[in-house]
């Protein structure tokens, strides 16, 4: 069973527009949740993480994500997109009864001038 | 500047040859992950270790892949014999514990011809 689902393999926004990347998890117990960013020919870099503290998590580069248990979601947002935000974004989960980190399929963000 | 180091960065090899990829986790980290990234499958977890012991390698083709941690500073992923379908980017990541983020290396781009 898929532990984490990212809706939309490609998202395109204009520079200055709101960025919204969607992530839903499948677990009856809230897991640990992460967002990573990958630039071309690079490894993955952590943007932010949720580990059962505050439901609104602020990360690097102006990104934030809100954990919503009722919706089993952890969507990533940024109020104003920059050209430098163009990259692939991955949502990841560590389930409560497991030890490994599983990734979603990724969402490629394109930022238009 | 602590980082996960992977070698080699790029490897081109002929089908049937043995390939060994190496990873030096961040000093003090007790968890090591191996992932494979392809366009078709995205990020797949191959194996992970906790305190050098393999916890799960169910994502790894057992007949040709093997993963080991000879000591706390070295993790290896070996493919023997290699096949063209093994062409991918292989990432190593390390962390302290299950609830914390994983720090990724730059990856090894493997091409099997």
Q: B34 CB near a chain A CB, below 8 Å?
A: no
Question: What pLDDT score was predicted for residue B3?
Answer: 92
CB-neighbour burial class of residue B76 (10 A; exposed 0-12, middle 13-18, buried 19+): middle
Question: What pLDDT score was predicted for residue A2?
Answer: 58
Query: pLDDT class for B98, splitting at 50, 70, 90?
Result: low
Question: What pLDDT score was predicted for residue A96?
Answer: 67
> What phi and psi values does residue A32 have, to the nearest 5 degrees?
-90, 135
Q: pLDDT tens digits for B70-85?
A: 999 999 999 999 999 9
Of B45, B99, B105, the CB nearest to A51: B99
Question: What pLDDT score was predicted for residue A37?
Answer: 97
> Which residues in chain B have their CB less than 8 angstroms from residue A36's CB?
104
Question: What pLDDT score was predicted for residue A97?
Answer: 64
Question: What pLDDT score was predicted for residue A1?
Answer: 53
Q: A63 CB near a chain B CB, below 8 Å?
A: no
Q: pLDDT tens digits for B5-47?
A: 999 999 999 999 999 999 999 999 999 999 999 988 899 999 9
The total of other beta-carbon atoms located within 10 Å of residue A54's CB is 10
> Residue B1 above 70 pLDDT?
no
Question: What pLDDT score was predicted for residue B99?
Answer: 64
Which residues of chain A carry a pLDDT beneath 50? Answer: none
Q: What's the rounded Cα separation, in Å, for the pair B5 and A100?
A: 20
> What phi and psi values does residue A22 have, to the nearest 5 degrees?
-100, 145
Q: What's the rounded Cα separation, in Å, for the pair A85 and A78?
A: 10
Question: What pLDDT score was predicted for residue B57?
Answer: 84
Could B101 and A49 be called an inter-chain contact, meaning their C-beta atoms sit closer than 8 Å? yes
Higher pLDDT, A51 or B3: B3
Question: What pLDDT score was predicted for residue A20?
Answer: 98
> Residue B62 above 90 pLDDT?
no
> Which residues in chain A have their CB less than 8 angstroms from residue B98's CB?
32, 94, 99
Q: What's the rounded Cα separation, in Å, for the pair A19 and B109?
A: 30
The mean per-residue pLDDT over the stretch B53-65 comes to: 89
């Amino acid at each position: 069973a898929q532990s984490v689902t990212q809706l939309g393999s490609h998202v395109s926004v204009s520079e200055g527009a709101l960025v919204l990347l969607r992530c839903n998890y499948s677990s009856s117990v809230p897991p640990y949740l992460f967002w990573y960013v990958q630039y071309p020919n690079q490894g993955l870099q952590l943007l932010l993480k949720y580990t059962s503290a505050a439901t609104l998590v602020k990360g690097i580069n102006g990104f934030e994500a809100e954990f919503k248990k009722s919706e089993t979601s952890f969507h990533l947002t940024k109020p104003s997109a920059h050209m430098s935000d163009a990259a692939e974004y991955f949502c990841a989960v560590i389930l409560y009864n497991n030890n490994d980190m599983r990734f979603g399929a990724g969402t490629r963000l394109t930022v238009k001038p | 500047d602590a980082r996960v180091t992977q070698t080699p960065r790029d490897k081109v090899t002929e089908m049937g040859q043995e390939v060994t990829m190496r990873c030096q986790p961040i000093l003090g980290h007790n968890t090591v992950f191996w992932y494979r990234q392809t366009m078709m499958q995205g990020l797949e977890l191959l194996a992970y270790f906790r305190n050098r012991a393999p916890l799960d390698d169910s994502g790894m083709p057992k007949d040709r892949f093997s993963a080991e941690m000879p000591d706390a500073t070295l993790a290896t992923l070996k493919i023997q014999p290699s096949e063209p379908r093994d062409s991918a980017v292989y990432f190593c990541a390390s962390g302290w514990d299950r609830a914390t983020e994983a720090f990724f290396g730059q990856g090894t781009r493997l091409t099997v011809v």
